């Protein structure tokens, strides 16, 4: 479809990060993020009370301390790796494509990204939410925001949305290339830790009540659980384990970052870490394949907090494989996903 006259706009969209690790900026970020009805899916008044009376005053100062540990000279890794891959992808795709980066929350905004593409007179747009597995709280939220922003435009160009990329072989290949140097060493066990979501999010996206949040439904990936975040996480793991030659009995999947008191998808990371140490495992290699760039959830939570917990419980070594970040194999994966859309 793309020819010399037509430009295709590509909008890469990640979750977002605070503008700085200060308490006011972290509070502003958390407010915008957690007031999203797809993230905290309870009635507006209850959500506003929870966010303003509990999360903003109590969680923001605590999170700001963690963000201070994560921050580098270039700022937040989620943002600067996003900028790096945007430039790399633009180089790869050439002048018939215009690539912009946006964040669902905070900056750069989706609105500015869409406007920048429209200024370049794009004839179509490809929206790429940077979440390998579909969740209503992430990909669904990006889709909703884009549709809300374009609904008043006089001219809406042809729009394409990428839903997830768990079936993209180059995604698995990119992880394989990042992980290969680590696999020269021996480990007792491998952990695949994904961001969690509340169990009710899974129930709401289940077809005919298929998803039972157990090993049975998530052990296959099929038409009935094609939008099940938990099912897609297990599917990603099976593919990664196969590509990395890790036998089934040597790995465990877990879900991290629970917020609040409602049940989230299991097994919980803290339970798995404790059990692995109790079973006598000493050396663990951890992966975080729900994230395409290092962020608070990978570097600090999996890389530092989980390591400390594992060692406190009797383990000896806990190593985190970094995210895809700006690895050229990841940019090749993005390029293929874009070029596959005609
Ligand atoms: C991988 C995809 C993600 C899903 C699914 C997800 C769901 C989800 N998250 C929260 C609450 C928080 N998440 C926070 C940070 C955070 N979450 C993701 C990704 C997913 N979240 C990323 C990439 C990040 C890190 C951003 C960064 O700046 O590094 C936070 C903020 C940090 C903290 O205070 O712990 C919260 C809060 C909910 C409630 C939810 C599911 C519905
Ligand atoms: Fe999150
Ligand atoms: Fe499921």
Structure confidence by residue, pLDDT tens digits, 2-50: 445 789 999 999 999 999 999 999 999 999 999 999 999 999 999 999 9
Query: What is the 212 CA–ligand 3 centroid distance (Å)?
Result: 6
Give the per-residue pLDDT at 212: 86
Contact predicate 321/314, CB 8 Å: no
Q: Grade residue 133 by pLDDT with cuts at 50, 70 and 90.
A: very high
Query: What is the 71 CA–ligand 3 centroid distance (Å)?
Result: 35
- Look up the pTM and report it: 0.96
Give the per-residue pLDDT at 325: 98
Collect all residues with Cβ–Cβ distance below 8 Å to 219 and sequence separation of at least 6. Answer: 234
> Residue 257's closest CA among 235, 288, 231, 236?
288
Q: Grade residue 169 by pLDDT with cuts at 50, 70 and 90.
A: very high
Give the per-residue pLDDT at 27: 97
Ligand 1 test: best mutation among 257, 302, 324, most atoms within 8 Å of CB? 257
**Summary mean pLDDT of the chain:** 95
Domain boundaries, the chain: 23-70, 169-320
CATH number (1.10.1030.10, 2.40.50.140, 3.40.109.10, 3.40.50.1400) of 169-320 reads 3.40.50.1400
Mean pLDDT of 96-124: 97
Ligand 1 test: best mutation among 259, 294, 306, most atoms within 8 Å of CB? 259
> CA-CA distance, 46 to 314, in Å (whole number)?
42
pLDDT per position as a tens digit, 296-339: 999 999 999 999 999 999 999 999 999 999 999 999 999 999 99
Give the per-residue pLDDT at 215: 78
Q: Is the pLDDT of residue 234 over 90?
A: yes
Atom of ligand 1 nearest to the CA of 293: 23
Give the per-residue pLDDT at 224: 87
**Ligand nearest to the CA of residue 258, numbered in listed order:** 1
Output the furthest CA–CA distance in the chain (Å, rounded): 63
Mean pLDDT of 149-170: 96
pLDDT per position as a tens digit, 245-260: 999 999 999 999 999 8
- The reply, when asked if residue 281 is annotated as ligand binding, is no
Collect all residues with Cβ–Cβ distance below 8 Å to 234 and sequence separation of at least 6. Answer: 218, 219, 221, 253
Mean pLDDT of 267-283: 97
Query: What is the 227 CA–ligand 2 centroid distance (Å)?
Result: 18
- The reply, when asked if residue 195 is annotated as ligand binding, is yes
Give the per-residue pLDDT at 178: 98
Contact predicate 140/36, CB 8 Å: no
Q: What percent of the chain has pLDDT over 90?
A: 90
Atom of ligand 1 nearest to the CA of 41: 42
Q: Is the pLDDT of residue 177 over 90?
A: yes
Ligand 1: which residue has its CA nearest to atom 37?
30
Give the per-residue pLDDT at 254: 98
Give the per-residue pLDDT at 4: 54
Give the per-residue pLDDT at 2: 46
Ligand 1: which residue has its CA nearest to atom 33?
63
Mean pLDDT of 139-163: 96
Task: Spell out which residues line ligand 1, taking CB within 6 angstroms.
Answer: 15, 17, 30, 39, 59, 63, 76, 78, 131, 135, 137-138, 195, 197-198, 257, 259, 290-291, 295-297
């Amino acid at each position: 479809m793309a020819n010399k006259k037509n430009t295709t706009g590509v909008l890469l969209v990640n979750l977002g990060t605070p503008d700085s690790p200060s308490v006011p900026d972290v509070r502003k970020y958390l407010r915008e993020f957690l007031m999203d009805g797809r993230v905290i899916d309870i009635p507006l008044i209850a959500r506003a009370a929870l966010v303003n009376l509990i999360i903003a005053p109590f969680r923001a100062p605590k999170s700001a301390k963690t963000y201070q540990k994560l921050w580098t000279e270039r700022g937040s890794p989620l943002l600067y790796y996003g900028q790096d891959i945007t430039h790399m992808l633009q180089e790869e795709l050439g002048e018939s494509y215009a690539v912009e980066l946006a964040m669902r929350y905070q900056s750069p905004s989706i609105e500015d990204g869409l406007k920048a593409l429209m200024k370049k007179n794009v004839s179509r747009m490809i929206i790429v939410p940077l979440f390998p597995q579909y969740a209503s709280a992430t990909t669904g939220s990006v889709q909703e925001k884009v549709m809300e922003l374009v609904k008043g435009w006089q001219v809406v160009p042809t729009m394409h949305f990428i839903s997830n990329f768990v079936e993209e072989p180059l995604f698995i290949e990119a992880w394989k290339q990042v992980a290969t140097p680590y696999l020269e060493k021996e480990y007792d066990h491998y952990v695949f830790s994904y961001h969690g979501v509340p169990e009710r999010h899974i129930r709401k996206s289940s077809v005919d009540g298929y998803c039972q949040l157990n090993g049975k439904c998530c052990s296959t990936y099929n038409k009935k659980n094609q939008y099940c975040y938990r099912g897609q996480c297990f599917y990603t793991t099976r593919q990664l384990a196969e590509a990395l030659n890790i036998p089934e009995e040597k790995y465990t999947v877990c879900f991290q970052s629970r917020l609040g008191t409602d049940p989230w998808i299991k097994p919980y990371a803290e339970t798995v870490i404790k059990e692995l140490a109790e079973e006598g495992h000493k050396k663990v290699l951890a992966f975080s394949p729900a994230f395409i760039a290092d962020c608070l959830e990978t570097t600090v939570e999996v890389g530092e907090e989980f390591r400390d917990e594992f060692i406190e419980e009797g383990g000896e070594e806990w190593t985190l494989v970094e995210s895809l970040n700006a690895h050229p194999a990841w940019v090749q994966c993005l390029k293929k996903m874009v070029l596959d859309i005609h």
